[in-house]
C-alpha cells in the first residue's frame, strides 16, 4: 500500500458537514484496504509512536474499544481519559485542557454532551479533534454506517435508506453523510422528534450538489416503501433517561418490524449503531436475523476509524 497522502493531516472530524463527499470516500477507501489487510494478518503501522487521548463523559463499548484497538494496530497507543478523573471534572476549562493535552498527544477523541464543547476543544488545540459522540452528532458512527452500506450493496449513490425512530445524533450525522454521498435518505419520526435543524440544512445543501433526496416524514410505512437499508437507534439516548416514559409512548410504532421490512426491498439490510433496546426500536430476532448487517457495522467502526486516524494524525 502506498503511503497515506498528507493533505488531510491536522484536520478535525467534529461534524460530517465539514468534510466533502470526496474526503469521506477517501476514508472509506482506506478503511476497506485496512480491513482487507487486517483480515490477511498484514500489519499497517501507519502511526508508529503516536498517542491518541480519548476523553469520555458518557459510557461506551464500541467507540472506546475500536479506537483503542485501532490506534494500537496502527503502531500507536490510546489513553482512556474519563472526564470525571480529569481536572475537567473539577472545573478546569476545556480551553486549558485542550492546550495542555495538545502538548502531550497527537490526537484527541472526545465523547461528551454539548457539541459546543467539542468545537471549543478543537479551536484550542493544534492536533486533530475527533467527535466520538455528542448530543447533536455521531460522525464516526456515520463513517462505519456508510462503509457497511457500500460493502453490502456495492454502491452508495442512489441507495434508498429509511431511518426509523428518533431524529437524534446518529440520525443527524448519517443524514448529512448520506446526502454528501448521493443517497436517498428518508427519516420517519414522530412529530417533535425531527432531526436537528442545522443538520437538515447541511443535508439539503449537500443534496443540491449530489442529487440526493432528503426527506423527513411522520409515516413509517412511507419511509419503508422500497427501502434498501433500514436504520434505527435507541429511543432514549444517553442523558435523556428522565424522558424515557414519554419517549416510549411517542415513538411506539416507529420501530423496525417485520411488517415494515416487508415493504422494503427483499434483500434490504438492517443497521443499528448499538447498543439496542430490544422490544423498543428493534427486536432481538431482527437484529440477529438474516437481513441484519449490524455486526459488520459494529466491526467497521474499527476499520473506518483507523482510516480516519491514519489520514488526519501527523
Write out the catalytic residue numbers: 111, 138, 141, 233, 273, 301
Residue 169 binds to ligand CP (criterion: CB under 6 A):
no
Subset of 38-97 contacting ligand NVA (CB under 6 A): none
Pick one of 118, 140, 162, 170: the residue that binds ligand NVA (CB under 6 A): 170
| CB-nearer residue toward ligand NVA: 12 or 233 | 233
Tell me, residue by residue from 229 to 248, as one string, x for binding to ligand NVA by CB under 6 A and - for no binding.
----xx--xx----------
Pick one of 146, 178, 223, 273: the residue that binds ligand CP (CB under 6 A): 273
Per CB under 6 A, the segment of 59-67, 95-103, 190-198, 306-314 that binds ligand CP is 59-67
Residue 274 binds to ligand CP (criterion: CB under 6 A):
yes
The 3 state secondary structure assigned to the chain is CCCCCCCCCCCCECCHHHCCHHHHHHHHHHHHHHHHHHHCCCCCCCCCCCEEEEEECCCCCHHHHHHHHHHHHCCCEEEEEEHHHCHHHHCCCHHHHHHHHHHHCCEEEEECCCHHHHHHHHHCCCCCEEECCCCCCCHHHHHHHHHHHHHHHCCCCCCEEEEECCCCHHHHHHHHHHHHCCCEEEEECCCCCCCCHHHHHHHHHHHHHHCCEEEEECCHHHHHCCCCEEEECCCCCCCCHHHHHHHHHHHCCCCCCHHHHCCCCCCCEEEECCCCCECCCECHHHHCCCCECHHHHHHHHHHHHHHHHHHHCC
Residue 141 binds to ligand CP (criterion: CB under 6 A):
yes
| CB-nearer residue toward ligand CP: 4 or 161 | 161
- The residues binding ligand CP (CB under 6 A) are 60-63, 133, 141, 273-274
Amino acid at each position: 500500500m502506498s503511503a497515506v497522502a498528507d493533505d488531510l493531516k491536522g484536520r478535525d472530524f467534529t461534524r460530517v458537514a465539514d468534510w466533502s463527499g470526496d474526503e469521506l470516500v477517501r476514508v472509506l477507501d482506506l478503511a476497506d484496504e485496512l480491513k482487507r489487510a487486517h483480515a490477511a494478518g498484514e500489519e499497517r503501522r501507519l502511526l508508529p509512536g503516536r498517542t491518541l487521548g480519548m476523553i469520555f463523559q458518557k459510557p461506551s463499548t464500541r467507540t472506546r474499544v475500536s479506537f483503542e484497538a485501532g490506534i494500537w494496530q496502527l503502531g500507536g497507543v490510546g489513553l482512556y481519559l474519563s472526564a470525571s478523573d480529569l481536572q475537567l471534572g473539577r472545573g478546569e476549562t476545556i480551553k486549558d485542557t485542550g492546550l495542555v493535552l495538545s502538548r502531550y498527544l497527537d490526537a484527541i477523541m472526545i465523547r461528551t454532551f454539548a457539541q459546543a464543547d467539542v468545537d471549543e476543544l478543537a479551536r484550542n488545540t493544534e492536533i486533530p479533534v475527533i467527535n466520538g459522540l455528542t448530543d447533536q452528532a455521531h460522525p464516526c458512527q456515520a463513517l462505519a454506517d456508510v462503509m457497511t452500506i457500500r460493502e453490502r450493496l456495492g454502491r452508495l449513490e442512489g441507495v434508498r435508506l429509511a431511518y426509523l425512530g428518533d431524529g437524534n445524533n446518529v440520525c443527524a450525522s448519517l443524514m448529512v453523510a448520506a446526502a454528501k454521498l448521493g443517497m436517498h435518505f428518508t427519516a420517519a419520526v414522530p412529530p417533535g422528534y425531527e432531526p436537528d435543524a442545522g443538520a437538515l440544512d447541511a443535508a439539503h445543501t449537500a443534496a443540491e450538489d449530489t442529487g440526493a433526496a432528503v426527506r423527513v416524514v411522520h409515516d413509517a410505512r412511507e419511509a419503508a416503501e422500497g427501502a434498501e437499508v433500514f436504520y434505527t437507534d435507541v429511543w432514549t439516548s444517553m442523558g435523556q433517561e428522565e424522558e424515557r416514559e414519554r419517549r416510549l409512548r411517542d415513538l411506539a410504532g416507529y420501530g423496525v418490524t417485520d411488517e415494515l421490512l416487508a415493504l422494503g426491498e427483499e434483500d434490504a439490510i438492517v443497521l443499528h449503531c448499538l447498543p439496542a433496546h430490544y422490544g423498543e426500536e428493534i427486536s432481538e430476532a431482527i437484529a440477529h436475523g438474516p437481513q441484519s448487517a449490524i455486526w459488520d457495522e459494529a466491526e467497521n467502526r474499527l476499520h473506518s476509524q483507523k482510516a480516519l486516524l491514519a489520514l488526519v494524525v501527523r
